[in-house]
Amino acid sequence: NNSVVWMSHGDHIHELPPSYEIIGHTNNAKVAVVQHTEKEIYGVQFHPEVAHTDCGKQILHNFAFDICGLTGDWTANSFVEEQIEAIRKKVGKDKVLCALSGGVDSTVVATLIHKAIGDQLECVFVDNGLLRKDEFNEVLDLYIKDLELPVRGVDASELFLERLTGVSDPETKRKIIGVTFIDVFEKEIGGQSEFKYLAQGTLYPDVIESVSFKGPSATIKSHHNVGGLPDKMKLDLIEPVRELFKDEVREVGKALGIPEHFIGRHPFPGPGLGIRVIGDLSKERLDLLREADTIFIDELKTQNLYNDVWQALAVLLPVQSVGVMGDERTYEFTVALRAVTSLDGMTADWAHLPYEFLSHVSNRIINEVKGINRVVYDISSKPPATIEWE
């Protein structure tokens, strides 16, 4: 009759509505589970979807299959077939512009739509100055040679950096990035009025963290694929993987024949390194972060640890500290390394990487990246912390 559940709410239920009764409680919450006395309606105050809740998966399974009568016949292949039909029906003879970020999500979306409508799709891959080291050219090459996508690369790095330089607020960064992306796309299509749709790789976690329903639930952060988009956009959205989680998108990518080495890449935020430089943005700070991030990721791959973590990243902090290099005093930046394990990105634990590995990475970054003299490791779980710092 007792089970461990994950409670991370600051609120509690004071009074039940008519026809509801309490069927579960915790030491700190007298109302943890409720049910309707006449209808098959249930409510929980804890998080059944997270790994920390012992019987959470069983609770969801019981509700979905025993109460709702679902069949569990979803497969990546059936999803692809259904979406191809749905995309063709929605798009008709119109043209679609796809915003490629270089990540798995938008790549899966582009490949799926291309399979559905062929040459009616045109992709734009923008170098926003916020990508990882050498990423723009490497990914563009994969798009053209391996996936044969109709894509054009656009170097808009100067425009993005011009608008972002000196901006420190993370929400402002996200919205500027979202607005600038749309400005670049609108400039690219110019007078080509045949484009009616803009395709994006929005996932369900993006929607959950961006939307606050009526009531006390707060918006966690706006994603540039969702809340950061401006109302002035003149294209209708098409988001075929909007209801999927990352692991499901990867399965769809495999079904579409996207190379395994690309599908297995760690998640990378749409705003890129712009939200991994905490505080004011500048080209110099982005370059410092790029070098540190490259060392961290390369070492994870070299030591066969890359596939053991859900996501790994480096964050440049707006903190300088005193150090000693040789016989000289230094006053340079601090980098935080973050690596997490997760099933779906909604919750995550910090990855217990070997001390020797962390020491080696720290030494490399401090010795090879001039401008950084201190490295720390983030041991926060989600919740309460999010995976990204901003």
Q: How far apart are CA 196 and CA 173, in angstroms?
A: 27
1-71 CATH:
3.40.50.880
| Domain 276-377 bears CATH identifier 3.30.300.10 | yes
Q: What is the pLDDT of residues 176-225, one digit of tens each?
A: 988 898 888 778 777 666 788 889 888 887 777 665 444 555 554 554 45
Q: Which stretches in the chain have pLDDT values below 50?
A: 212-214, 220, 223-224, 226-230
User: What pLDDT does residue 227 have?
Assistant: 42
Beta strands 121-127; 151-155: pairing state: parallel
Supply the DSSP symbol for 165: B
Q: What is the pTM of this model?
A: 0.77
Q: Domain residues of the chain, as ranges?
A: 1-71, 76-263, 276-377
76-263 CATH:
3.40.50.620
Residues with Cβ within 8 Å of residue 217, at least 6 apart in sequence: none
Q: Do domains 76-263 and 276-377 have the same CATH topology?
A: no
User: What pLDDT does residue 211 have?
Assistant: 56
User: What pLDDT does residue 217 have?
Assistant: 52
Q: What is the pLDDT of residues 49-78, one digit of tens each?
A: 887 889 999 999 999 999 999 998 889 999
The identity of residue 149, as a single letter, is: L
Closest by CA to 276, choosing from 301, 312, 330, is: 312
Supply the DSSP symbol for 267: P
Closest by CA to 97, choosing from 183, 181, 239, 195, is: 195
